[in-house]
Amino acid sequence: MQEFVEVVFRSERVGFFINNKGLELSPDLNVVVKVERGEDIGRVSNCAVLDDDLIEKNNQGEITKILRIATEEDLKQLEIVKKKEQKAKAKFLEILEKQPFQMKLLEAIYQLDGNKLTFFFSADGRIDFREFVRELAAEFKTRIELHQSSGREDARRLGGFGICGKMYCCVSFLRRFNQVTIQMAKDQNLLSNLSKISGPCGRLLCCLHYEEDFYLEKSEDFPELGEVISYKDQKMYVDKNDYYNNRVNLISENEERIILTLDEFKKAKETRKK
């Protein structure tokens, strides 16, 4: 069985590669891998990954291999590349001034062997930069890619601390962005103030995804919002479910509020059926 290794590149892109040479790898170790246009350097984030999709991709020849653990020469080359990136950023901004559109350059990253140069930028809306790319390719004499960064990617690149007081998940451990939806906020009774459940990236907090399974499981035992019961000869509506404390918040037509335990609510519901 082939051993697949997860590697994170300097651009924060994640890739999977085969350790077919049986190299002694460990997390945070720099390795040189084979990529589409040559060689690049990345950091090991997971030493052993088992996934049926990866096996299928490997059988189809879509996954390449780890060439070697980064040597002193590789690291020296990386330092040379980083200096070239600073010059590339300055030249990029110079050429950008002649363009009819505006964008903010975030980062320039060369592949280790110099066969590809990627510029990361942010901009309002989509931009047709085909002519711009051709001009950049003529200037740098290598393959050019322009990548429009999202708010989430910017947050990962810049780093920071969330409202929980801990480093952003996307910086510390989260390698793939999960889909976070308004429905998750609704399931967790958090729709009242979206600004409080949005991160600095402007998107809903990733942690809503972590807790969604808990809320979906708990909700099976709770009433639907808006459900009607009769309590002490008064018509009451389910206004909110408190899953952590096993309580149900009720509200009457004249906005009188009552909080029942889940057992009390079920008992009142059964009494009504009788």
Task: Summarize pLDDT for 47-88 with one digit per residue, the tens.
Answer: 877 777 677 777 766 788 999 999 999 999 999 999 999 999
Q: Are 244 and 210 in a shared domain?
A: no
Look at 110 and 47; give whichever has higher pLDDT. Answer: 110
Q: For residue 187, name the pLDDT band (cuts at 50, 70, 90).
A: confident
Domain boundary among 118, 149, 180: 149
Closest residue by Cα to residue 106 from 164, 71, 146: 146
- 54 assigned to some structural domain: yes
Using an 8 Å Cβ cutoff, are 159 and 172 in contact?
no
Residue 181 domain-assigned? yes
**Same domain (yes/no): 110, 142:** yes
Range 164-169 average pLDDT: 85
- Establish if 158 belongs to a structural domain: no
Does 168 fall in a domain?
yes
- Domain assignment present for residue 155? The answer is no
Q: Which of 70, 95, 118 lies at the terminal end of a domain, its last residue?
A: 70
Q: How confident is the model at residue 1, as a pLDDT?
A: 42
Question: 245: which 2 tokens?
Answer: 């404390």
The verdict on residue 42 lying in a domain is yes
CATH classification of the domain holding 92: 3.30.300
Residues 11, 120 contacting (CB under 8 angstroms): yes
Contact present, 230 and 236 (Cβ < 8 Å): yes
Whether residue 83 is found in the same domain as residue 142: yes
Q: Does residue 105 register a pLDDT over 60?
A: yes
Note whether 62 and 83 are same-domain residues: no
The boundaries of the domain holding residue 115 are 76-149
| Same domain, yes or no: 84 and 145 | yes
Amino acid sitting at position 81: V
Residue 112 counted as domain residue: yes
Final residue in a domain of this structure, among 127, 149, 171: 149
Closest CA to 131 of 94, 101, 162: 101
Q: What average pLDDT does this structure show over 234-257?
A: 89
- What is the Cα–Cα distance from 206 to 165, expressed in whole angstroms? 15
- The whole-number pLDDT of residue 111 equals 96
The residue behind tokens 């994170």 is 8
User: Looking at the domain assignment, is residue 27 inside a domain?
Assistant: yes
Same domain, 21 and 61: yes
Mean pLDDT to the nearest integer, 249-273: 84
For residues 8 and 60, membership in a common domain is answered with yes
β strands within 162-274, DSSP E: 228-231, 234-242, 247-252, 257-261
* pLDDT for the residue numbered 204: 87
> Using an 8 Å Cβ cutoff, are 64 and 86 in contact?
no
Q: Which of 17-21, 70-74, 150-154 has the lowest mean pLDDT?
A: 150-154
The angle, 0 to 180 degrees and rounded to 10, between the axes of the packed helices 130-140 and 72-96 is 130
What is the total count of domains within the chain? 4
Give the model's pLDDT for residue 2: 53
pLDDT band at 225 (very low <50, low <70, confident <90, very high): confident
pLDDT in tens, 33-48: 999 889 999 999 888 7
Looking at the structure, tell me whether residues 169 and 143 fall in a common domain.
no
Please check whether residues 105 and 40 belong to one and the same domain.
no
